[in-house]
Amino acid sequence: MKDAFEEFRNLLVTHGMRLSALYGGGRFSEPVRCDEVVAYNRRVAHFLADLGVDRIVLGPSGPRRPGGTSDQDLREAAHHRCGRAGVS
């Protein structure tokens, strides 16, 4: 995996390019998948940081539920994540 990362970094340098961001995200509001979604986004964030990128674009995955994500869904997701991280 490290070789692939270095190859990607070298391709960017060779072509005078810089990665500006990557898309991450997922269904943070689904408690069953929340840990998986957070772990995935941490990997994306570390990958970006290793390339000197300071942005990650977060959005939902898949089709939206009818009515979208409610404020209550977002509060519950934030409460779940903050509680697991020891933040109140």
Query: What are the pLDDT digits (tens) for 62-72?
Result: 777 788 777 88
- pLDDT, one tens digit per residue, over 33-85 is 878 888 888 899 999 999 999 999 888 777 777 887 778 877 777 776 655 65
In the chain, where the domains are located = 21-85
Residue 4 in tokens: 């692939």
Q: Name the DSSP class of 31.
A: T
Burial of 40 (0-12, 13-18, 19+ CB in 10 A): middle
State the pairing for strand pair 56-59/22-25.
parallel
Quickly list H helices, the chain: 2-14, 34-50, 71-85
